[in-house]
Amino acid sequence: MQLTQNKFIKAVAVSCAGLVILSCSEPTAEAEVETQTTQSPNTMEQTVTSEISFLEENKNKEGVSVTDSGLQYKVLLEGTGNSPAATDRVTVHYEGTLTDGTVFDSSYERGQPIDFGLNQVIRGWTEGVQLMKEGAKYKFFIPSELAYGPRGAGGVIGPNEDLIFTVELIRVN
């Protein structure tokens, strides 16, 4: 399946915090409501606690930097090209995972990079990709408040889940 711009737009969830790239499958509204209503307060509290523990441990690892907003990142390969502004369109390859390693989306798996407006994704992406130069590859550890927060997204990303993205900035368009 080729990923067209229309399919990509359908694969993006809109929220007050912005957008985040999701897989190309589109969960139904009923599935989202069911997922949200079956999450117990205890489970949500455990998720928040485990996510805080993950980020607390991760920030002390070698090579991990932390921005003022709490975004954590590690430079895997430094680039030499242009850096994007929040209003630029970019072409990237990426893989998104939960902190347990579960892959929820990957342009690598689809075999095709994606082009999108940098101000059309979650805040953690907008902030992080602006740190990069063309040709760079970074790993972002995005706190839930820079992603989906307490509502989660679809059936895969639960409430208060931190996300991990490996992002390769191919070009600023």
Give the residues across from 90 on adjacent strands. 116, 172
- How much is the pLDDT for 154? 81
- How much is the pLDDT for 65? 98
Choose the catalytic residue: 138, 140, 141, 148.
Answer: 148
Domain ranges of the chain: 5-172
Give catalytic status of residue 105 as yes or no. Answer: yes
Residue 53: pLDDT band by 50, 70, 90 thresholds? confident
- How much is the pLDDT for 52? 67
Strand residues in the chain grouped as ranges (E): 12-15, 18-21, 64-66, 72-77, 89-98, 103-106, 114-117, 137-142, 163-172
* Third-level CATH fold of 5-172: Chitinase A; domain 3 (3.10.50)
Give catalytic status of residue 122 as yes or no. Answer: yes
Give catalytic status of residue 100 as yes or no. Answer: no
* CA separation for the pair 56, 59 (Å, rounded): 6
What's the pTM value of the predicted model, to 2 decimals? 0.73
pLDDT tens digits, residue range 112-144?
Answer: 999 999 999 999 999 999 999 999 999 999 999
Q: Which two tokens stand for residue 12?
A: 């993006």
**SS3 at position 49:** helix
